[in-house]
Structures are given as structure tokens and as C-alpha cells.
A = this chain, B = another copy of it.
Amino acid sequence: MAALGDREILYIGIDGGGSKCRASILNSDNRVLGTGISGPANPLHGYAQTIDSIVRSATLALSDAGLPPQALGELVAGVGLAGVNMPSLYNEMDAWAHPFKQMFLTTDQHSACLGAHRGGDGAVIIAGTGSCGYAWVNGEARLLGGHGFPHGDKGSGAWMGMEAVKYLFLALDGLAEDSRLKDELLSALESTDAQQVFERIGGKSSSHYARLAVPVVEYAEAGDPVALAIVSDGASYINDLADKLFEMNAPRLSLIGGVAPRLKQWMAPHVVERVAEALDPPEFGCVYFARQCVAEAASGSAGAIEADGKALFG
């Protein structure tokens, strides 16, 4: 078993969201020494579970790297979390008596953006269950969208699922045209009538709705007009996000999440041609963030990244 010497500082990047928390320990060459995955880590849904998931993923990453659990106290952690663009949650998490040598906290959008552009300036559009746009340029953040389900997050999987369910109810009442999508949705919801559809999906969480995005995208790809109308409307919103992010002079734009890359085929050509692959995953972005914080502290500069996170909230 290897032991942490005083040769180099090891960084751990921890990316936490509503469904899981992923940690990677990197050496100074950005080589992954170990990775750990644990449960949900969104402080909006529970502080205790969030810190438990963070510690658990970090301990698993240490074990994966062949390092002992007590090495936790020697790691410098960059933590990117969903939910902490709410200042109250940021402050709560930032006040945590964490077990690391140092911890630097930011939003999951910021860490995803830093990861996608290998620590450099750029923008991301994240569309999975939810959706948002984020740019980090010249030390300034801009967050667009991300207002939540069902009143926001257009173009996301949950939004597509909701649009599909709205259509399904109309079609079942004879108030919208029939389509193959209707039959597919009924089948996906194991339903034959509106009452059953209501019981399967009514009042359910965004992730339930997001599952219906799969048939919507597939049927759109097969040319179904109803599905096409939904994905086109979603793609048009993603175009609008992209145009706003370009206005900020973001040098690169990446599409992240399970849904965004699938929508590319319906997005505007001038947007698509400027989309660049994400270079590294969000955990790497967490490490880049922590390194920037350490470097700025060493240079004595308060820099763009305020300790109270104010610069992060766009």
C-alpha cells in the first residue's frame, strides 16, 4: 500500500448531484490515482446525506488509489455541488467542519465548465434531467436558466417528458392528433387510458418525467411529427442559451448531460459548428478549481474567486 509522502499535494475532485457523487484523486500530471462513487449529494435535498456522500466517495477513491482512509486529511478537495448557487446552501456547506486538508466549494455548473475547458474560460450547456447554461469568462460567472421543474429547465429531459405527457392527455381526449408517439408513451407508462397515465406520472418528480425523453428523442429521430415538434422547441431554447453565452465571448462551448448532445441535430447550424467536445469530466473541473484557489491564495490575490462564493452566482 502506498503512503502519502511530502513529495506532492494530492487533489481530490468531488462532483455531487441529485443522484450520485463522484470523486477522483489526481496527481500533478492529472493522472487519476483512484475514483469513488457514492449516493446523492445535493444539499437542497439534505445536508447530512450530502456530507455523508462526499466523505464516502472520497474514502472509496482513497481505497481505489491504495491509500489509507486517514490520508483524507492530507487531500486538498475541490467540491462542485448542485444546489449551492442558493447562497444559504453555499454558506451551510462552506461552514462544514470537513475532514480534508483544505476544501474549496463551488457550484456543479462551475466545475463542469472548468472540466470541459481544462480549467480555461468557456461555457457549457448542461441538459440532462434539468437544463441550464453557464459561462465562466475573465473570472465572471453567468448562469442562464436552471430555474427548476416544472416552471423552467426548458429543453431538459424532464421538460420533454412533461410536454409528452401534456400531448398524451390531449390525444386521449381527442384534442390532439394521434401519433405513434402516443402509443409508445402509453406503453412506456404501462397505461391504456388517462386515469392510468395520471396514476403513473401525475405529481411525480422530474426524474420520472425525464425517463419519457428517451422515446421522445427516438421518435423524433424516426420522423414522428409530434416528437419533432417537442425536440425542435427544446432545441430552439438551447440555441437561445448558446447565443447568450456567445455574447459573453466564451471561447469554447460544450454540451453536457444525457440530453444536450442528442438535441444537436435540431440545433441551429451556427451554434452546432461552434460546439466543442468537453475535454475533461466535472471532477477534473473540481480539481482545477481547487488548484486555482490555492494558487491565488499563495499569490496573495483575492482574485476573481471570492471565498464567500459571491462571484459564482452570476
Interface set of A (CB-CB < 8 Å, partner B): 86, 144-145, 147-148, 150-152, 154, 162, 165-166, 169-170, 173-175, 194-195, 197-198, 201-203, 237, 240-241, 244
Contact = CB atoms under 8 A, between A and B. Distances in A.
Which of the listed residues A86, A148, A152, A197 has the most CB atoms from chain B within 10 Å of its own CB? A152
A174 B86 contact: no
Contact of A165 (B144, B151, B154, B203): B151
B162 A144 contact: no
A198 B313 CA distance: 15
B162 A151 contact: yes
Given A152-B166, A244-B173, A202 B144 contact: no
A222 B188 CA distance: 44
How many copies of the polypeptide does the oligomer hold?
2
B145 A166 contact: no
B148 A198 contact: yes
A43 to B, nearest CB: 16
Nearest to A142: B173
Contacts of A203: 148
Contacts of A147: 169, 194, 197-198, 202
A267 to B, nearest CB: 15
A253 B195 CA distance: 25
B148 A86 contact: no
A144 B175 contact: yes
Contacts of A152: 166, 169
Nearest to A240: B175
B174 A244 contact: yes
Contact of A151 (B148, B169, B175, B237): B169
A166 B145 CA distance: 10
Contact of A173 (B145, B174, B202): B145
26 contacts: A86-B195, A144-B173, A144-B175, A145-B169, A145-B173, A145-B175, A147-B169, A147-B194, A147-B197, A147-B198, A147-B202, A148-B203, A150-B150, A150-B162, A151-B165, A151-B169, A151-B201, A152-B166, A152-B169, A154-B166, A154-B170, A173-B244, A175-B237, A175-B240, A175-B241, A175-B244
